[in-house]
Amino acid sequence: MKKGDASARKVACQGFALGCLIFIQLVGARSARAESPRKVEGYELLGTLGYGFLFRDLTTTNDRQVNPFGVTVGADFGYTFPFGLRLGTDAGYAFGRTMDYKRWTGEAITTHASSITWGGSIGYDAVLSSFRLRGAADVGLLLVLDQGKVAPWIYFGPKLGLTWQFRGVELGLQSRWMIWTGTVQVGLMAGTRF
């Protein structure tokens, strides 16, 4: 027997053994994940309560500066595939804030506006030891409501969430950045996975 043949046989046996080990681990992990209370796959319905911070001047169609964010309530619904990809939709209502400012003419102005958002997201859920970390790209429609007028905007940006799941209940923190409007929203979320 040549020394090269023994080496090739040894490498083939080691490769076969490694392949069997990987196969057993994947099958075992798959069945464990299906029985795990912290599963990734499935539908998810969450309620949200948060606050929106505006970091730039936002004007509506009638040249009035507004802050249509502030305290925000909403809902989020989505489906996560077994490999972690999540497709979702969310809707929210922000009660807005009152703004007092002076125009260049010296005229004192007080405004109060609110907003409605509706959009979709695509992201990935990564299961950590006790938590689920979600990163997503978010895009949607923002309607600014000011004195009976509606000013439509489009928003997009990243969304980041950290969720703790206990049996069927989920609790967590979420934030998103609406790039075009210069807004960061942070808040709590709670719901269920089914």
Whether 128 and 97 have beta carbons less than 8 Å apart is answered as no
- 165 confidence band (pLDDT: 50, 70, 90): confident
Instruction: Considering only residues 174 and 16, tell me which one the structure prediction assigns the higher pLDDT.
Output: 174
- 104 confidence band (pLDDT: 50, 70, 90): confident
Model pLDDT, residue 61: 57
- The tokens describing 39, both together, are 């599963």
Model pLDDT, residue 100: 83
- Spell out the domain ranges in the chain: 1-35, 38-193
pLDDT digits over 24-81, tens only? 555 554 444 444 545 678 999 999 999 999 888 777 656 778 888 999 999 999 999 9
| Measured distance CA(58)–CA(164) in Å, rounded | 35
| Measured distance CA(194)–CA(169) in Å, rounded | 10
pLDDT digits over 176-188, tens only? 999 988 899 999 9
pLDDT digits over 90-100, tens only? 999 999 988 88
The CATH architecture that domain 38-193 belongs to is Beta Barrel (2.40)
pLDDT digits over 140-151, tens only? 999 999 888 888
- 115 confidence band (pLDDT: 50, 70, 90): very high
The rounded Cα 106 to chain-centroid distance in angstroms is 42
DSSP string of the chain?
--HHHHHHHHHHHHHHHHHHHHHHHHHHHHHHHHH-TT---EEEEEEEEEEEEE-S-EE-TTS-EEB--EEEEEEEEEEE-TTSEEEEEEEEEE--BEEEEE-TTS-EEEEEEEEEEEEEEEEEEEE-SSEEEEEEEEEEEEEEEETTEEEEEEEEEEEEEEEEEETTEEEEEEEEEETTTTEEEEEEEEEEE-
Q: How crowded is the C-beta side of 16, counted as CA atoms within 13 Å?
A: 6
Nearest to 134, CA basis, from 125, 121, 147: 125
- 1 confidence band (pLDDT: 50, 70, 90): very low
Model pLDDT, residue 174: 95
Instruction: Considering only residues 193 and 136, tell me which one the structure prediction assigns the higher pLDDT.
Output: 136
N- to C-terminal Cα separation, the chain: 61
| Measured distance CA(3)–CA(144) in Å, rounded | 78
